């Protein structure tokens, strides 16, 4: 049977068939043979297995074996359901001949510029009521079938246009009337974009001429000045068509296609309809089942995989041609296949299974993400299982076609199907990204902390994940410290065998963030002492001038009041204790907390109410240890030290975050000096400058008061004070 076919297409249309229909000259007949074998193997249907018949079906199905099989079933189902209009059609029947000669539907001679056949339906010939009085509905439909059937083996139509079973490229309406256009306008929103592109209306012939070549139109529709080739009048075209379908060639084609003695369709015998669960060659939708029932519609994958495997199996039986190679499912990291359709569909399934494209996932599909009660465990084997499941199903469907040498390689990595923890990291980063996306949008560029660098591979070491998590938490603590429970603990990304993060790492990260923030503030302090704390959404700038001014103003006033008494009346609090650091620093702490509260209030006033910073609450709670309290206090001290960093000896150390039971601060002389200065200043504020405290309250209420000049003076005096303190210390 393979030798009965000779291609009649021109080279340009052969290329079009390859580009649009995936038709390959080398394996064209192999595909026909595969479909023929399937038809012959079925007990519930019989169909014409000639090459021209099956090739027509395959072109309609774009060489998809499954769609071709479905098309054959649909044709048989329709024909056996409507035997009265499909069975035993005789194109020489008198009534059919009369209907065709009326010219209600014309087949315009020749092809248009794109190689398409044009059917010209003229509703205006006579009212449909009149037609139904003269002809029965059965005669009308059987006449239509004659017109279409005699062209169904025309390869130009199969490749370029409507091949009876489907390739309609354009529907043009001329002079349809306002009512029709109004109805069409209402219905258009329900059409697919592809359908809308093919439906065109023409209010005049000039518009129609742009679509249909003049050489093909009947003379009644041509302009008066046209003197080119013409097929004749509508009557002549109709009579020619009526005569054509009665010729021996086309009469036999129509008779053969409507001969039911060579056809059969009994769906009750179809495997699977009465308890047959063993599977058959007709492929149904394969649903990938993971351990938590991740269901995904993978019909397209199976269709294409079976199509390729079937062609390859048939080719193998005749010694596989060089151009037919299949690399099926090499899956260490990617599903690799030289056949582009297989790659696209297989990776599509993997993407859908991994919830990368959740909108395409079946309603019953469940996303397998992080199980994080105590361990962030992601069973990513499900992805590989899905792919292997699809391949296994595919192999089972076409196992009779697969030779021994064509076996699927199904991702045996070493001994087990193991997915590296990169997938786990992806999930962790996904959670962090959600949190970071809320925080990062509201943090200045220079204070922005990259959570995950994903350029080509999402490969992040476990430690990096922990750092990122604690880093984000630390930033959150810094912004809204009052919102974090005192007893909070950080439980981050315990992976596989519990990745435990010591609280020291938390403190290090917290201090690291605080230092970055302090540096950013110091770099950005202009003359007017403006501190940009947070840029939120459209750069919500918190003008915390008042905070800095309050501190520097108090210091300046204090120095101005008792400049000569600083070293005389100041009581040195050295707090030298053997086991505990005892210092009268309550005033310092009060002042530090006061400044911190003012700063927090200034920030919170400018944070939108609807902004909630959700920080990785992983089923039990992401908890921050009591380090936050100490961090807040040391944060104030660190910022105080950073105001005059060049004035502080290098040996000054603030040991923070030894926080198992006690916060131990090394009481070297430099630290004592710093605390001593703070105590003196705080004492002067509390005892002698009540009116200054009143001014501070007013400044807190009105954050936007510009007192840049006072701030500059204050900083200047502060610098002098620091010099005096340093000289006294040296003495």
Residue 164 confidence (pLDDT) above 90: no
**Of residues 195, 224, 218, the one with CA closest to residue 124:** 218
**DSSP helix, strand, coil percent of the chain (3-state; round to 5):** 55, 5, 45
Q: Which residues pair with 285 in a beta bridge?
A: none
Tell whether the torsion through CA atoms of 15, 19, 24 and 29 is positive or negative: negative
pLDDT-based confidence at residue 667 (cuts at 50, 70, 90): very low
| Confidence bin at 128 (pLDDT 50/70/90) | confident
Count the neighbouring beta carbons within 10 Å of the beta carbon of residue 84.
Answer: 11
pLDDT tens digit sequence for 186-208: 566 666 666 666 677 776 788 88
pLDDT tier, 149 (very low <50, low <70, confident <90, very high otherwise) = confident
Are β-strands 264-265 and 171-174 bridged in parallel, bridged antiparallel, or unpaired?
A: unpaired
Tokens of 607: 């944070």
Nearest to 635 by CA among 488, 490, 517: 517
Q: Report d(CA 191, CA 211) in Å as an integer.
A: 22
CA dihedral 634, 640, 641, 647 (to 10 degrees): -170
Name the residue among 470, 471, 467, 486 with its Cα closest to residue 627. 486
If you average pLDDT over residues 401-415, what whole number do you get?
Answer: 36
pLDDT of residue 209: 87
Per residue in 540-551, pLDDT (tens digit) is 334 434 544 554
Distance (Å, whole) CA 66 – CA 337: 20
Distances (CA, A) of 84 to 128, 140, 141: 21, 12, 10
The per-residue pLDDT for range 259-298, each reduced to its tens digit, is: 999 899 999 988 876 544 434 433 333 333 332 333 333 3
CA distance 419 to 426: 12
* Residue whose token pair is 């076996």: 407
pTM given for the model: 0.39
Residue 398: CB atoms within 10 Å: 22
**pLDDT score, position 152:** 81
Structure confidence at residue 718 (pLDDT) = 75
DSSP 246: T
**CA nearest neighbour of 142 among 14, 15, 245, 1:** 245
In this predicted model, which residue has the larger pLDDT, 149 or 651?
149
In the predicted model, is pLDDT for residue 713 greater than 50? yes
pLDDT digits (tens, 9 = 90+) for 88-112: 999 999 999 999 999 998 999 999 8
Tokens of 468: 């990122």
Q: Which residue has the higher pLDDT, 147 or 608?
A: 147
How many of the other CB atoms lie within 10 Å of CB of 218? Answer: 20
Q: What is the pLDDT of residue 494?
A: 45
Is 66 a residue whose pLDDT tops 90?
Answer: yes
- Least confident range from 234-243, 309-318, 349-358, 477-486: namely 349-358
Mean pLDDT, all residues of the chain? 61
Listed range (22-26, 642-646, 674-678) with the worst mean pLDDT: 642-646
Q: Are 400 and 310 in contact (CB under 8 A)?
A: no
- Report residue 505's pLDDT band, with 50, 70 and 90 as the boundaries: low
Does 565 or 68 have the greater pLDDT score?
68
What is the Cα gyration radius of the chain?
A: 42
pLDDT at 41 over 90: yes
CA–CA distance, 44 with 264 (Å, rounded to integer): 7
Parse the chain into domains and list their residue ranges: 8-88+262-272, 89-165+238-258, 299-419, 426-730
- Rounded CA separation 275/270 (Å): 11
Structure tokens at 48: 């014409």
**Count of CB atoms within 10 A of residue 577's CB?**
10
Structure tokens at 522: 């110091």
Q: Reply yes or no on whether the pLDDT at 166 is more than 80.
A: no
Q: List strand residue ranges (DSSP E) for 203-256, in order.
A: none
How far apart, in whole angstroms, are the C-alpha atoms of residue 413 and residue 405?
A: 21
Residue corresponding to tokens 């449909």: 128
Decide which of 562 and 640 is more confident.
640
Residue 82: pLDDT over 80: yes
Please give the pLDDT value at position 156. Answer: 83
Least confident of 21-35, 73-87, 120-134, 435-449: 435-449
More confident of the two residues 575 and 304: 304
For residue 210, what is the enclosing H or E element?
Answer: none
Q: Which residue has the higher pLDDT, 30 or 529?
A: 30
Q: Which two tokens stand for residue 363?
A: 């309603």
Q: Looking at residue 189, what DSSP letter applies?
A: G
Beta-carbon contacts of residue 558 (< 8 Å; ≥ 6 apart): 680, 681, 684, 685, 689
- What pLDDT shows up at residue 495? 39
Q: Higher-confidence residue: 344 or 710?
A: 710
Mean pLDDT of 141-154: 87
pLDDT tens-place string over residues 688-707: 444 544 554 455 445 444 54
């Amino acid at each position: 049977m393979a030798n009965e076919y000779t291609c009649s297409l021109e080279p340009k249309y052969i290329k079009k068939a390859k580009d649009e229909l995936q038709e390959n000259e080398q394996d064209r007949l192999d595909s026909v043979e595969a479909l023929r074998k399937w038809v012959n193997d079925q007990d519930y249907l019989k169909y014409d297995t000639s090459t021209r018949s099956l090739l027509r079906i395959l072109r309609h199905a774009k060489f998809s074996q499954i769609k071709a099989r479905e098309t054959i079933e649909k044709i048989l189902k329709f024909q056996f359901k409507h035997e009265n209009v499909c069975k035993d059609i005789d194109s020489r029947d008198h009534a059919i001949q009369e209907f065709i000669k009326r010219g209600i539907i014309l087949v315009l001679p020749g092809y248009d510029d794109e190689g398409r056949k044009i059917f010209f339906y003229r509703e205006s010939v006579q009212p449909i009521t009149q037609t139904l009085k003269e002809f029965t509905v059965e005669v009308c439909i059987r006449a239509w079938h004659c017109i279409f059937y005699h062209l169904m083996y025309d390869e130009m139509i199969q490749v370029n246009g409507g091949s009876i079973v489907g390739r309609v490229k354009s529907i043009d309406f001329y002079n349809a009337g306002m009512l029709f256009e109004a109805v069409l306008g209402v219905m258009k929103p329900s059409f697919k974009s592809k359908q809308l592109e093919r439906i065109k209306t023409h209010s005049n012939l000039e518009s129609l001429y742009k679509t249909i070549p003049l050489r093909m139109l009947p003379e009644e529709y041509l302009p008066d000045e046209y003197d080119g080739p013409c097929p004749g009048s509508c009557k002549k075209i109709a009579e020619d068509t009526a005569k054509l379908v009665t010729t021996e060639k086309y009469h036999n084609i129509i008779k053969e296609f409507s001969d039911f003695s060579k056809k059969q369709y009994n769906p009750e015998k179809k495997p699977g309809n009465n308890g047959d669960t063993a599977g058959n060659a007709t492929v149904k939708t394969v649903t990938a089942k993971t351990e938590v029932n991740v269901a995904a519609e993978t019909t397209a994958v199976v269709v294409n995989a079976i199509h390729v495997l079937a062609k390859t199996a048939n080719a193998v039986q005749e010694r596989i041609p060089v151009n037919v190679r299949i690399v099926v499912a090499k899956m260490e990291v990617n599903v690799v296949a030289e056949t582009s359709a297989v790659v696209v569909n297989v990776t599509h399934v993997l993407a859908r299974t991994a919830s990368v494209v959740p909108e395409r996932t079946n309603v019953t599909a469940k996303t397998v993400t992080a199980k994080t009660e105590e361990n962030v465990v992601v069973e990513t084997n499900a992805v590989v299982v899905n792919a292997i499941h699809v391949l296994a199903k595919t192999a089972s469907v076409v196992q009779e076609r697969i030779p021994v040498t064509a076996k699927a390689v199904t991702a045996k990595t070493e001994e087990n199907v193991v997915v590296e923890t990169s997938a786990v990291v992806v999930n962790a980063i996904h959670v962090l990204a959600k949190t970071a996306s809320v925080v990062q949008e509201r943090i200045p560029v220079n204070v922005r902390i990259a959570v995950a660098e994903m350029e080509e591979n999402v490969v992040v070491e476990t430690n990096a994940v922990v750092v990122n998590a604690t880093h984000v938490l630390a930033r959150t603590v810094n912004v809204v410290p009052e919102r974090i429970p005192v007893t909070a603990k950080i439980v981050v990304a315990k992976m596989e065998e519990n990745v435990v993060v010591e609280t020291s790492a938390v403190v290090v990260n917290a201090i690291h963030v605080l230092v970055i923030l302090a540096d950013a503030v110091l770099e950005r302090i202009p003359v007017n002492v403006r501190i940009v704390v947070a840029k939120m959404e459209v750069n919500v700038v918190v003008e915390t001038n008042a905070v800095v001014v309050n501190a520097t103003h108090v210091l300046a006033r204090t120095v101005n009041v008792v400049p000569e008494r600083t070293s005389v009346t100041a009581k040195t609090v050295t707090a030298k204790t053997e086991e505990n650091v005892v210092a009268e620093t309550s005033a310092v702490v009060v002042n530090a907390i006061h400044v911190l509260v003012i700063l927090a209030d200034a920030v919170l006033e400018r944070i939108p109410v609807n902004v909630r910073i959700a920080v990785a609450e992983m089923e039990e709670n992401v908890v921050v240890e009591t380090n936050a309290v100490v961090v807040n206090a040391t944060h104030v001290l660190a910022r105080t030290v950073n105001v005059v960093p060049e004035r502080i000896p290098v040996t000054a150390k603030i040991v923070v975050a030894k926080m198992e039971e006690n916060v131990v601060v090394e009481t070297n002389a430099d630290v004592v000096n710093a605390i001593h200065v703070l105590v003196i200043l705080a004492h002067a504020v509390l005892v002698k400058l009540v009116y200054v405290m009143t001014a501070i309250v007013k400044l807190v209420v009105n954050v936007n008061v510009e007192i840049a000049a006072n701030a500059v003076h204050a900083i200047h005096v502060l610098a002098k004070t620091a010099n005096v303190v340093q000289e006294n210390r040296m003495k």
